[in-house]
Amino acid sequence: MNTLRRYIFLAIIALSCPTLALAGPVNINTADAETISAELKGVGLAKAQAIVAYRKQHGPFKTRAELTAVKGIGARTVEINRDNILLDGSKERSKK
């Protein structure tokens, strides 16, 4: 009976955190600001809008490091999100 309670408790915890399960890679060259802010840690809507504006003015990002040219996006933010930042259509994760 204790095992059943434990599994029920774990299921409740897992279901109460749906945003953790939905977070994933985002193509910063095609995504809108809402998607970018939802998928990247430490990037709110204002910063995501700045990313989109920079992309429209300067063209597609060629490297993840280029994101640091966007006001409000530092190297730490890029590093934290390294595995969730895509530059093209591939689903391949970045290599460190």
Beta pairing, strands 85-86 & 26-27:
parallel
Domain that holds residue 41: 24-96
Annotate 24-45 with b (16+ C-beta within 10 A) or e (fewer). Answer: ebbbbbebebeebbbbbeebee
- Domain with 86 in it: what CATH number? 1.10.150.280
pLDDT (tens digit per residue) in 29-63: 999 999 999 999 999 999 999 999 999 999 999 99
Tell me, yes or no, whether 6 lies in a domain.
no
Which amino acid type is present at position 87? L
Tell me, yes or no, whether 3 lies in a domain.
no
- At 93, the pLDDT band (50, 70, 90 cuts) reads very low
Q: Residue 3: its pLDDT value, please? A: 83
Tell me, yes or no, whether 76 lies in a domain.
yes
Indicate the pTM of the whole model. Answer: 0.70
Q: Residue 13: its pLDDT value, please? A: 62
pLDDT (tens digit per residue) in 57-91: 999 999 999 999 999 999 999 999 999 999 986 55
Tell me, yes or no, whether 91 lies in a domain.
yes
Helical H segments across 1-95, by residue range = 2-15, 18-22, 33-39, 45-58, 75-80
Count how many domains the chain has: 1
- At 2, the pLDDT band (50, 70, 90 cuts) reads confident
